[in-house]
A and B are shown apart, each in its own frame.
Chain A
Amino acid sequence: GAGVSQSPSNKVTEKGKDVELRCDPISGHTALYWYRQRLGQGLEFLIYFQGNSAPDKSGLPSDRFSAERTGESVSTLTIQRTQQEDSAVYLCASSLTERTYNEQFFGPGTRLTVL
């Protein structure tokens, strides 16, 4: 079946512009996560959604970052007034539910470059 998809695969933007990154989770997966991975670095948790519960936004690095999710489907991560330090690969993952031992399936990521 279809895995997690993300778009765009690459995004080049100018400093100060806003960007929107999209994630389509696996159908039926109630939990959705966003991570940031800087070049050669680890996976930095940003935010997760679980069903209709309030999202855990504890990993968002600043108020320029926000994310939304419509029901149990697509999610968008928005970065306002982008800065060069925002350059990274943004990975989305989904799982059946986050309160059990379920595997997180990752998307291919969006590589964001801020000039």
Chain B
Amino acid sequence: GENVEQHPSTLSVQEGDSAVIKCTYSDSASNYFPWYKQELGKRPQLIIDIRSNVGEKKDQRIAVTLNKTAKHFSLHITETQPEDSAVYFCAARGLYNTDKLIFGTGTRLQVFP
């Protein structure tokens, strides 16, 4: 079945620096890749997503890139702020083998002021 690997598991950056989180997926039929942010003690919330027909998508300080050939996608956060501190989960949805989201194991991002 679909498997999603996420790295790193923890990431510490200084405020203002950039942060990059990477994920790889196994199902070449996957066509949708959302990213969720989960603040401490709160529910996961969608922050950005990308479909398999585009290579990059930006929304202010966050961007996601997708390399379908290599089956990996990445989250980029620029000009990090303390409020970016949270756990970030990538996910992949398969088209044929599975219709559910398979989540990565999460990256705990800590932004130091």
Number of interface residues of A (CB under 8 A): 21
Contact A42–B105 (Cβ < 8 Å): yes
Interface residues of A in 6-42 (CB under 8 A from B): 33, 35, 41-42
Q: How far is B49's CA from A18's CA once the two chains are assembled, in angstroms?
A: 38
The number of chain B residues with a CB under 8 A from chain A is 19
Cα distance A67–B38 when bound, in Å? 25
Whether B49 lies near A101 (C-beta < 8 A) is: yes
Chain A residues within 8 Å of B43, by CB: 91, 106-109
Q: B63-71, B75-83, B96-104: which one contacts chain A?
A: B96-104
Binding site for B on A (CB under 8 A): 33, 35, 41-43, 45, 48, 50, 56, 58-59, 91, 98-99, 101, 103-104, 106-109
Which of A42, A48, A104, A109 is the one whose CB lies under 8 Å from B106?
A: A42
